Chain A
């Protein structure tokens, strides 16, 4: 067959036109749909968090549409994968706001990614939901943060763990803003509860050899270790700690262990006895949650990932937004924001959650759990916990015109240097 450049270009451009046509028609028709853009890392290093979140997002949208959509309109899910790369976040956020004209954007895993896109979405007046647990402190009329913050989980787990294990605490944390800020909150609550912090150590995210630190912990002889370690490399800590026999004598409490499904990535005997606190565990009791977990497993098969706070909050974040759209009778930004600020609440898989109008953060149930054979057993439930850390610095009712990130997040307001 003869094949020259001219025929190639003719052929492909024709093919291009036919391929493009449905897109053009689709766009014209899509106006009577409500557009929801999701930007979550589904490849690269953060996919361990992003994939379950994207799955839960897809499920939420499917369920809304199966139930007849919102105010008679279907919701169109536009899904972008920024590949664990901040640059793609800004690119896709611009595309979502300016190109897709999204009615709402649910996006971001790391705080860095959130801060990369939050100003863009604010500028384009695209309503923004951030559904990840984080260090707290975002104070932005356009942005709703539904994940738990340190004050919510740390405040509850510290006294429980200290009662159980003892008062001398050794803190280890990831060396970036989330770990640094969380460590300071842990220190504050340990001191408030009459305990003592033996030492605080920070680890760059690629450290895999925890030997020297384990020796230091042995020398300090604390009653327990508090971990705010994050990411794949830091999983090594739990394994090396157990290999040195330390998990039997000095137990671990954490508000980061489990959210990357760490408890499945270490063996049962390495993880037994670790305490954790989140605003959701797959093991949360109740029929709502059992039905939610079953729907998720049915949809994504036997290999479906463990449902953690991140995935479930992505689902609940969309349901909260959907509730506000129903309440407002439109998907337009300002009416929806006003509906979200009306003290809106939702009976979700994690229990009753509502939005605090002052901070745009979630008022959430907080669960404390103990790990046994790669399964979390809920040991305490604290209902409707407000985001006390962000509340110290943020009041959008008094001053709605802000789009600030209080980096110190109330640490100063709480008297922490």
Chain B
């Protein structure tokens, strides 16, 4: 019984971490149809913000929850202004441009901070025991943050004027601009927000993962698979795909081993895309956000 609870918690955590690494990409891809291949590097930059600032004595919570999204959000706005804004509607070009961008970020971080940066942080919050099993309390915290983040994004999109205008712009930008919306500004803000969410995710994962300039590559594939499997709806799609893929991955990893866990995740995604080419929310929950 203890094992069941410990494992259930582990699987929920696996799902939450998938949501966390994919949400920023989902916002940028789902709202703007921009394929951001530099998404992994946004996560990496969030992680670096935390490692570098805590090395300089900044409080870890402030670094993770405030600095990481702020720094990466600003980088996101700059990227949108300097690069992405010229490429709207040209999917292949954005693909190439953001891939180049990801190489640039890896190179920049390596030349500024070196191939590796020593760290002093470890996961805060200690250990919780479930019978014979122990888990990190920080994992529980990450699950909670993920839920709050989803609610927050929902609230912004659904309840604020910015969210309304943003959704209108994404649906029909000509009409939106005819009605007096500055679509340029909306695109910039959306991209910045997506980057900020990625930065936050990277920052939050920094204490439980290795932070290296090239670490983005390990996230990008999973984030993409999740977002594509999820389909057009940002929140419902990402959440549904994360639950499905993360759940299967966690259960298979426990039953057979991590290699087959990864295989099961990929096989599920392939079958899913074959049956539902527009993703889960292309068929189900179509009206959701």
Asked if B215 contacts A212 (CB within 8 A), the reply is no
- A211-222: contact bitstring with B at CB < 8 Å (1 yes, 0 no)? 111111011000
A218 to B107, CA, bound (A): 40
- B217-261: contact bitstring with A at CB < 8 Å (1 yes, 0 no)? 111010000000000000000000000000000100110011101
Which residues from B are CB-within-8-Å of A346?
none
Stretch with Cβ within 8 A of A (4 or more), from B76-84, B126-134, B177-185, B190-198? B126-134
User: Would you list the 10 A-B pairs with minimal beta carbon distance, nearest first?
Assistant: A235-B210, A243-B136, A245-B127, A212-B253, A243-B123, A264-B118, A267-B122, A212-B254, A211-B10, A232-B212
Asked if B261 contacts A244 (CB within 8 A), the reply is no
Asked if A265 contacts B13 (CB within 8 A), the reply is no
| A232-B218 CB under 8 A given contacts A244-B136, A246-B134, A265-B212 | yes
B98 to chain A, nearest CB (A): 18
Asked if A207 contacts B217 (CB within 8 A), the reply is no
Docked complex: B99-125 residues within 8 A CB-CB of A: 107, 110, 114-123
State whether the Cβ of B6 lies closer than 8 Å to any Cβ in chain A.
yes
Interface of B is mostly: helix
Which residues from A are CB-within-8-Å of B213?
47
Q: Residues of B at under 8 Å CB distance from A?
A: 3, 6-7, 10-11, 13-14, 17, 107, 110, 114-123, 126-127, 132-136, 138-139, 207-215, 217-219, 221, 250, 253-254, 257-259, 261-262
Stretch with Cβ within 8 A of B (4 or more), from A133-141, A197-205, A325-333, A399-407? A197-205
Asked if B253 contacts A232 (CB within 8 A), the reply is no
A243 to B219, CA, bound (A): 21
A378 to B115, CA, bound (A): 26
Which residues from B are CB-within-8-Å of A244?
127, 134-136
Which residues from B are CB-within-8-Å of A215?
3, 6-7, 10, 133, 254
Asked if A45 contacts B14 (CB within 8 A), the reply is no
Which residues from B are CB-within-8-Å of A269?
122
Determine the residue in chain A with the shortest Cβ distance to B261: A212
A48 to B208, CA, bound (A): 19
Asked if A305 contacts B115 (CB within 8 A), the reply is yes
Determine the residue in chain A with the shortest Cβ distance to B251: A212
Which residues from A are CB-within-8-Å of B209?
208, 233, 235-236, 239
Q: Residues of A at under 8 Å CB distance from B?
A: 43-45, 47-48, 51, 175, 201-204, 206-216, 218-219, 232-236, 239-240, 242-246, 260-262, 264-270, 303, 305, 374
Can you list 6 A-B pairs, Cβ within 8 angstroms, ordered by A? A51-B115, A236-B209, A240-B208, A242-B123, A243-B207, A305-B115
Which residues from A are CB-within-8-Å of B118?
264-265, 374
| A45-B217 CB under 8 A given contacts A209-B14, A215-B133, A265-B116 | yes
Asked if B134 contacts A211 (CB within 8 A), the reply is no
Query: Which one of B110, B115, B122, B250 contacts A212 once the chains associate, using CB atoms below 8 Å?
Result: B250
Which residues from B are CB-within-8-Å of A51?
114-115
Asked if A240 contacts B214 (CB within 8 A), the reply is no
Asked if A233 contacts B215 (CB within 8 A), the reply is yes
Which residues from A are CB-within-8-Å of B121?
267
Which residues from A are CB-within-8-Å of B10?
211-212, 214-215
A42 to B141, CA, bound (A): 38
Which residues from B are CB-within-8-Å of A374?
118
Which residues from B are CB-within-8-Å of A234?
210
A321 to chain B, nearest CB (A): 26
Which residues from A are CB-within-8-Å of B114?
51, 303, 305
Asked if B115 contacts A218 (CB within 8 A), the reply is no
A242 to B210, CA, bound (A): 13
Asked if B119 contacts A265 (CB within 8 A), the reply is yes
Which residues from A are CB-within-8-Å of B115?
47-48, 51, 305
Most central of B139, B210, B259 by chain A CB within 10 Å: B210
Which residues from B are CB-within-8-Å of A246?
134
Asked if A206 contacts B207 (CB within 8 A), the reply is no
Which residues from B are CB-within-8-Å of A245?
126-127, 134, 136
| A232-B215 CB under 8 A given contacts A211-B14, A213-B253, A239-B207 | yes
Query: Which one of A201, A233, A266, A270 contacts B257 once the chains associate, using CB atoms below 8 Å?
Result: A201
Query: Which one of B3, B215, B259 contacts A204 once the chains associate, using CB atoms below 8 Å?
Result: B259
Determine the residue in chain B with the shortest Cβ distance to A221: B132
Asked if B107 contacts A43 (CB within 8 A), the reply is yes
A222 to chain B, nearest CB (A): 14
Determine the residue in chain A with the shortest Cβ distance to B219: A208
Most central of B117, B213, B214, B221 by chain A CB within 10 Å: B214
| A232-B210 CB under 8 A given contacts A204-B258, A207-B258 | yes
Which residues from A are CB-within-8-Å of B139?
211, 243
Asked if B132 contacts A212 (CB within 8 A), the reply is no
Asked if B257 contacts A202 (CB within 8 A), the reply is yes
A23 to B14, CA, bound (A): 56
A261 to B118, CA, bound (A): 9
Determine the residue in chain A with the shortest Cβ distance to B214: A45
Asked if A264 contacts B3 (CB within 8 A), the reply is no
A261 to B212, CA, bound (A): 12
Most central of A208, A209, A236 by chain B CB within 10 Å: A209
Most central of A47, A48, A243, A266 by chain B CB within 10 Å: A243
A46 to chain B, nearest CB (A): 9
A210 to B139, CA, bound (A): 12
A267 to B218, CA, bound (A): 22
Asked if A261 contacts B116 (CB within 8 A), the reply is yes
Asked if A203 contacts B258 (CB within 8 A), the reply is yes
A213 to B13, CA, bound (A): 13
Most central of A47, A206, A244, A268 by chain B CB within 10 Å: A244
B112 to chain A, nearest CB (A): 11
Which residues from B are CB-within-8-Å of A213?
253, 258
Which residues from B are CB-within-8-Å of A261?
116
Which residues from A are CB-within-8-Å of B214?
44-45, 47, 232
Which residues from A are CB-within-8-Å of B215?
232-233
Which residues from B are CB-within-8-Å of A270?
122
